[in-house]
Structure 1
């Protein structure tokens, strides 16, 4: 069975769209993988290249290091303070992860649109030539 895609039709706008779509899709998937791996590390959002995403999540949820230092006198108060910090840290981390995955999905969608447009045009040009 012969392929419906001819290599002669893979030029110009077709090549640009397909290759750019693949590049954008791979960058989005790499960012998504990176962001899910960072989720397990406590405090991993402090020194990252995507600080605008982290700051947007920070506006939605108070950061864990903003819990006021309340003097604890008993063991129960110390455990409650630790639980409150842990819950706030988890909530902030999940918000950052969701914001990063939202950005990943948006960029991956753009990559898929470019890839689909390029491959559709490639198929149409191949059929027109052959």
Structure 2
């Protein structure tokens, strides 16, 4: 079965859109995977290249390093302080992950739009060329 897409029509704006869309989708997939893998690491939001997103999450949820040091006297108080720090660390980590995934989905959506626009234009151009090639000359 012959393809509806002609390689001769894969040029210019069509090629740019398709390839840029694929590149953006790959970047979004890589970033989303990186963000998901960092969730299980304590303090993984420090020193990363996406500090503006981490700061947005910091405005939503209080950062774990802002927990005041409470003088603990008993083993129960030590345990409760550790649980409070762990819960706040987990909440902040989940918020950072959510913000990172929102950015990933937004960028991935842009990649899909470019890929769809380029492939649609490629198909339309290919169909137009097939119509011109398939016509019989007028007498």
- How far residue 96 of structure 1 moved from its aligned partner, in angstroms, is 0.1
1:1-53 CA distance string (max 9 Å, x none): 10000000000000000000000000000000000000010001001000000
How many residues are paired up?
A: 130
1:63-110 CA distance string (max 9 Å, x none): 101000000000000000000000000000000000000000000000
- Counterpart of 1:117 in structure 2 is 117
Question: How far apart, in 1, do the equivalents of 2:65 and 2:49 lie?
Answer: 20
Question: How far apart, in 2, do the equivalents of 1:68 and 1:83 lie?
Answer: 14
Greater Rg by CA? 2
* Runs of at least 5 residues in structure 2 that lack an aligned partner in the other structure: 131-139
* Runs of at least 5 residues in structure 1 that lack an aligned partner in the other structure: none
Question: How far apart, in 2, do the equivalents of 1:81 and 1:63 lie?
Answer: 15
Question: How far apart, in 2, do the equivalents of 1:83 and 1:33 lie?
Answer: 28
Correspondences of 1:15-26 after superposition (within 5 Å): 15-26=15-26
Greater than 3 Å deviation, 4+ residue runs: none
- Counterpart of 1:5 in structure 2 is 5
